[in-house]
Amino acid sequence: MIRLVILDFDGTLADTVELIVKTNQEVQRRMHYPVCKPEEIIATIGLPLAQCIQVMYPQVRSEELPRWVSVYREVFDMLKTQIVPALFPHVKETLAELTSRGITCSVASSRGVESLHAFLKEMGLAPYISYVLGAEDVTLAKPHPEPVLKTLEHFGVSASEAVVVGDMPVDIQMGLGAGAITCGVTYGNSGREALKEAGAHFVIDDFQEILTCFFLPR
């Protein structure tokens, strides 16, 4: 019996890839570094921001990271009004259905918590999300299981009663490390094979398939 659904945000609930790519590329220009290709940036989605920077530019020293992060947030705030992320199909309706059945829904993301709350509110998802964990809320980020373990502890739910849903291998690895059931979505920023290789128990092509994978029809 599934009691808790722990959701990634970027690439799982909302299509933020254009915003993320263009923000990164503008930051790279401002920091006078070679601009990465979109696919290089997409490969880092799901990691904490500072780690994303170091994956793309290993030569960046740790003392330089606060400046990068500051510029990123400045550029992101500027672009988010020009490139407005959209929800993926059936996300809002499925979350409404889950909560109407008494299923608790939460978010565990490497995005900053302030940004997460703002997006959830703007997109009309806040009423369906009972708990939000962002980058600042954990010591060890994805793929470490801490975000899932902390969520399970918050709700007093066992890992066998929870499913972790995400679009990247790091989401699946995070869930598996906590002993939870895992579900990959193919419409985000990675594909079916990568999710299967990461060990996903289920892989779905549409968010609403969560209802048929894990819950009996009404």
Q: Indicate the residue among 79, 103, 119 that finishes a domain.
A: 79
Check whether 217 has a pLDDT greater than 80: no
Q: Is 115 in the same domain as 184? A: yes
How does residue 218 score in pLDDT terms, banded at 50, 70 and 90?
A: low
| Per-residue pLDDT tens over the stretch 74-124 | 999 999 989 999 999 999 999 999 999 999 999 999 999 999 999 999 999
Q: Is 29 in the same domain as 52? A: yes
| Per-residue pLDDT tens over the stretch 144-153 | 999 999 999 9
Q: Is 128 in the same domain as 152? A: yes
Q: Is 98 in the same domain as 199? A: yes
Pick from 171, 197, 190, 192: nearest CA to 182: 171
Q: Is 89 in the same domain as 117? A: yes
Region 154-181 average pLDDT:
98
Per-residue buried b or exposed e for 99-132, using 16+ beta carbons within 10 Å of the residue's own CB = beeebbbbbbbbbbeebbeebbeebebeebbbbb
Q: What per-residue confidence (pLDDT) applies to 189?
A: 95
Domains: count for the chain: 2
Q: Is 72 in the same domain as 37? A: yes
Which CATH number covers residue 41? 1.10.150.240
Q: Is 10 in the same domain as 101? A: yes
Q: Is 26 in the same domain as 89? A: no
Check whether 128 has a pLDDT greater than 80: yes
Q: Indicate the residue among 79, 94, 116 that finishes a domain.
A: 79
Burial class from Cβ neighbours inside 10 Å (0-12, 13-18, 19+) for residue 179 reads: middle
Report the alpha-carbon angle 47-103-4, nearest 5.
40
Contact 167, 193 (CB under 8 A): no
Q: Is 118 in the same domain as 177? A: yes
Check whether 162 has a pLDDT greater than 90: yes
* ω into 38 cis (within 30 of 0): no
| Per-chain mean pLDDT for the chain | 96
Q: Is 172 in the same domain as 190? A: yes
The residues annotated as belonging to the active site are: 8
Structural domain of 142? 4-15+85-214
| Per-residue pLDDT tens over the stretch 10-26 | 999 999 999 999 999 99
Q: Is 10 in the same domain as 37? A: no
Contact 133, 117 (CB under 8 A): no
Q: What per-residue confidence (pLDDT) applies to 15?
A: 97
Check whether 216 has a pLDDT greater than 80: no
Tell me the pTM: 0.93
How does residue 209 score in pLDDT terms, banded at 50, 70 and 90?
A: very high
- Token reading at 62: 């740790």
Q: Is 130 in the same domain as 150? A: yes
Q: What per-residue confidence (pLDDT) applies to 173?
A: 98
Q: Indicate the residue among 79, 98, 117 that finishes a domain.
A: 79
Which CATH number covers residue 136? 3.40.50.1000
Q: What per-residue confidence (pLDDT) applies to 202?
A: 97
Check whether 215 has a pLDDT greater than 90: no
Q: What per-residue confidence (pLDDT) applies to 145?
A: 98
